[in-house]
Amino acid sequence: MEKFKKIVGIAAPFTRINVDTDLIIPAESLKTISRKGLGKDLFSYIRFNENGSQNNKFILNQPNYKNSKILVTGKNFGCGSSREHAVWALKDFGIKCLIGTEFADIFYNNCFKNGVLAIILDSKKVEKIIKIVSSSKNSELEIDLESQTVKTKQNEIINFDILPYLKRNLLEGVDDISKTLEKKKLIDEYEFDMKKKYPWLEKKNG
Amino acid sequence: MSENKSPKTLFDKIWKNHVIDNIDESNSLLYIDLHLVHEVTSPQAFEGLRLSKRNVRQPDKTFAVPDHNVPTVNRDKIEDELSKKQLKALEKNTKDFGVSYFPIDDIRQGIVHIIGPEQGLTQPGMTIVCGDSHTSTHGAFGALAFGIGTSEVEHVLATQTLLQKPAKNMRINLNGKTQKGVTAKDLILGLIGKIGTAGGTGHVIEYAGSAIKNLSMEGRMTICNMSIEAGARAGLIAPDETTFNYIKGRNFAPKEDWDQALKFWKSLPSDETAKYDNEEILEVNKLEPQVTWGTSPQDVCSIKGQVPNPENEKDLNKRQSIINSLEYMGLKPGTKLEDIKLDQVFIGSCTNSRIEDLREAANIVKGKSVKTKAMVVPGSGLVRQQAEEEGLDKIFKEAGFEWRESGCSMCLAMNADKLKPGERCASTSNRNFEGRQGKGGRTHLVSPIMAAAAAISGRLTDVREFI
């Protein structure tokens, strides 16, 4: 997995609440067998007009936020469908970090499996960041995972918490599967015990 | 060993039974008993296995079925090239890796969350995952079941385990007796209206109380199915005689070791003095049939209600959200829900396409005619067959419904079944998100009998007028 250490980039305020993964990437864009190339369909139903032209009202179409690397989100971002395509699309578009008060569970997991940092802050801090980055001359933020800080253009520092294993995984770009396969012996032992304890779970179609 | 004696919830017990390794206090390696797979969220996972030269650890605990993309008519010829490619990929992947597979022409094919329980694969005390958020459905059996992303699908395929953060326990008691015309769908919609779409975030919800105890397995599945719409990781209902009777005799159910399994299943319900991190109560006596008016499942009220006025909402973000919803839905504040005219009615999806749903809807429709375009998409080939044996297909067809073959269909509009921009639909599915049933389509979530009544009157309707 791609590592995440530090990024400096434009942060776009997208304050809509309950943004679901269908809105992030609609079902018609899921007919793919690849993880790549989904950025073009990111938020497609609200990013583009009926005739395919850009919706200039949408934040990521506005000149200052076109190349955003950070999205500051409303409450409960990423709710609904488990589609990892939502994170693939954000990442392919160039978004490497999200900041919000609350993310839906499956979406949050999916971010960290793809080297995307989702930062949870209390609503006062998120509102403050939204206020700051809404001014185009101050929309750049520096995110440093090692020191767990968000730094504004005015050198104001906002600290964030993160679970230690999520931090480590991102910093090291850990491949979860390889790490779990190192525990093969434990899994073997578990399965051996389970066969004795719950024999009916081993039965095939009968 | 005081810890072992401390009272436990159903969730605690299943969790403890499946932990292989506690990596740290917020991360455990959990064994997965059953992995369900469909065509949309699995191709990248199988590709990952190929690239790293890994196998599926337990092909016998992995079951795949195509459901999201499949056409519900003319199934022998799939016209959408991209859908065809994804369906072919599933077929090849299951063959290459030796995974059990129910192909499109198999009578057992259907929506993944319908066929798990139908085949007896879903059993109490199990851990069940699938690359699909509605995996929460299986919690109706007292199994810990939740949706995962594709990276996690690959992890489970390769290791039969998953890295998980322990969830918090929430219990919701649904007390009282429901009025006639009020179904499991109304209970869960009413509950989401109360706690909101993030009300369950970080939690596993255990549904309890007399209103749950009295539900059939079909109703319980409808409740647990929409746990994800309350933001919960999973929903759970304690297994009881209703559960055991449903499982007994099914294809993959325990046979010669039934008694041993039953003894274990009976040990699973939460201990009486178990502690929960959060509790909620919903009194169901006065609950009326529910309808959504907006673009989030929490935008819901009684069919007797009106479209809300954003001016009455003090929270600015919420007010903006209502304004956006009403604009998208083409609705004006103060409009009576019963006055909202419809273009289509959809009865189907993993929420409401089981035999009981179809029986109840057919009962409302019988001898009447629809005023909208309307279709029924049974949840599986076997549900369809059963319905035809009972003559339900005839009732629906005579009333003007289309009688389709099984799949996810217009719940998420990945196949040809979708709304056109601006079309309005009463739907038994689970999400009224913008564009969910087709770009620009407008969805009102309802129960199967409410959908049936809506089709007959051509507008959102109180089904109690038909009972």
| pLDDT at B275 exceeding the cut of 60 | yes
Mean pLDDT of B186-200: 97
Give the whole-angstrom CA distance, residue A52 versus residue B121.
45
| pLDDT at B1 exceeding the cut of 50 | no
Could you give the percent of chain B with pLDDT greater than 90? 97
Question: By the CB < 8 Å criterion, does B126 face chain A?
Answer: yes
Q: Which of residues 47-76 of B touch A (CB under 8 A)?
A: 47, 52, 54, 57, 60, 68-69
Q: What pLDDT, in 10s, does the model give residues A13-72?
A: 999 999 999 999 999 999 999 999 999 999 999 999 989 999 999 999 999 999 999 999
Question: By the CB < 8 Å criterion, does B321 face chain A?
Answer: yes
Domains observed in chain A: 6-173 (3.20.19.10)
Q: What is the pLDDT of residue A131?
A: 97
Contacts of B197 in chain A (CB under 8 A): 18, 76, 79
| pLDDT at B384 exceeding the cut of 50 | yes
| pLDDT at B371 exceeding the cut of 70 | yes
Residue pair B384/B115 in contact (Cβ under 8 Å)? The answer is: no
Q: What is the pLDDT of residue B2?
A: 43
Pairing relationship of beta strands A97-100 and B402-403 according to DSSP bridges: unpaired
| pLDDT at B85 exceeding the cut of 90 | yes
Contacts of B254 in chain A (CB under 8 A): 200, 203
Mean pLDDT of B171-183: 97
Give the whole-angstrom CA distance, residue B302 versus residue B288.
6
Q: What is the pLDDT of residue B320?
A: 95
Instruction: Give Cα B122 distance to the centre of its chain.
Output: 14
Give the whole-angstrom CA distance, residue A106 versus residue A82.
6
Considering only CA atoms, which of A39, A41, A60 is closest in space to residue A52?
A41
Q: Do B252 and A194 touch (CB under 8 A)?
A: no
Q: Which of residues 85-104 of B touch A (CB under 8 A)?
A: 85-86, 89
Q: What is the pLDDT of residue B76?
A: 86
Q: What is the mean pLDDT of chain B?
A: 97
Question: By the CB < 8 Å criterion, does B414 face chain A?
Answer: yes
> Which DSSP state fits A103?
B
Q: Do B151 and A176 touch (CB under 8 A)?
A: yes
Q: What pLDDT, in 10s, does the model give residues B25-49?
A: 899 999 999 999 999 999 999 999 9
Q: Which tokens hold the place of A149?
A: 């800080």
Q: Which helix (H) or strand (E) holds A157?
A: strand A157-159
Q: Computed from CA positions of residues B206, B169, A102, A47, in that sequence, does the dihedral angle turn out positive or negative?
A: negative
Q: What is the pLDDT of residue B272?
A: 96
Q: What pLDDT, in 10s, does the model give residues A55-113?
A: 999 999 999 999 999 999 999 999 999 999 999 999 999 999 999 999 999 999 999 99
Q: What is the pLDDT of residue A203?
A: 64
Question: By the CB < 8 Å criterion, does A27 face chain B?
Answer: yes
Q: Do B260 and A200 touch (CB under 8 A)?
A: yes
Considering only CA atoms, which of B157, B117, B154, B161 is closest in space to residue B135?
B117
Question: By the CB < 8 Å criterion, does A200 face chain B?
Answer: yes
Residue pair A28/A22 in contact (Cβ under 8 Å)? The answer is: no
| Most B-contacting residue of A30, A33, A42, A189 (CB-CB within 10 A), to test interface | A33
Q: Do A106 and B149 touch (CB under 8 A)?
A: yes
Question: By the CB < 8 Å criterion, does A30 face chain B?
Answer: yes
> Closest chain A residue to B88 measured between Cα atoms?
A33
Mean pLDDT of B443-466: 98
SS (H, E, C) chain B: CHHHHCCCCHHHHHHHHHEEEEEECCEEEEECCEEEECCCCCHHHHHHHHHCCCCCCCHHHEEECCCCCCCCCCCCCCCCHHHHHHHHHHHHHHHHHCCEECCCCCCCCECHHHHHHHCCCCCCCCEEEECCHHHHHHHHHCCEEEECCHHHHHHHHHHCEEEECCCEEEEEEEECCCCCCCCHHHHHHHHHHHHCCCCCECEEEEEECHHHHCCCHHHHHHHHHHHHHHCECEEECCCCHHHHHHHCCCCCCCCCCHHHHHHHHHCCCCCCCCCCCEEEEEECCCCCCEEECCCCCCCEEECCCECCCHHHCCCHHHHHHHHHHHHHHCCCCCCEHHHCECCEEEECCCCCCCHHHHHHHHHHHCCCCCCCEEEECCCEHHHHHHHHHCCHHHHHHHHCCEECCCCCHHHCCCCCCCCCCCCEEEECCCCCCCCCCCCCCEEEECCHHHHHHHHHHCECCCHHHHC
Give the whole-angstrom CA distance, residue B392 versus residue B361.
9
Give the whole-angstrom CA distance, residue B128 versus residue B96.
23
Question: Least CB-CB distance to B29: which of A17, A74, A183?
Answer: A183
Q: What is the pLDDT of residue B19?
A: 98
Could you give the percent of chain A with pLDDT greater than 70? 98
Q: Which tokens hold the place of B331?
A: 């609705």
Mean pLDDT of B418-433: 98
Question: By the CB < 8 Å criterion, does B25 face chain A?
Answer: no
pLDDT band at A206 (very low <50, low <70, confident <90, very high): very low
Q: What is the pLDDT of residue B77?
A: 86
The alpha carbon of residue B358 is apart from the nearest alpha carbon of chain A, in Å, by: 25
Could you give the percent of chain B with pLDDT greater than 70? 99
Q: Do B148 and A109 touch (CB under 8 A)?
A: yes
Buried b (16+ CB within 10 A) or exposed e, B138-154: bbbbbbbbbbbbbbbbb
Q: Do A180 and B80 touch (CB under 8 A)?
A: no
Q: What pLDDT, in 10s, does the model give residues A195-204?
A: 999 999 986 6
Q: What is the pLDDT of residue B3?
A: 52
Q: Do A110 and B228 touch (CB under 8 A)?
A: no
Question: Least CB-CB distance to B151: which of A74, A102, A113?
Answer: A113
Q: What is the pLDDT of residue A1?
A: 86
Contacts of A17 in chain B (CB under 8 A): 317-318, 321
SS3 A74: coil
Give the whole-angstrom CA distance, residue A108 versus residue A98.
10
Give the whole-angstrom CA distance, residue B428 versus residue B430.
7
Question: By the CB < 8 Å criterion, does A176 face chain B?
Answer: yes
- Residue reference for tokens 């971002």: A77
Q: What is the pLDDT of residue B392?
A: 98
- List the end-to-end C-alpha distance of chain B, in Å, as a whole number: 57
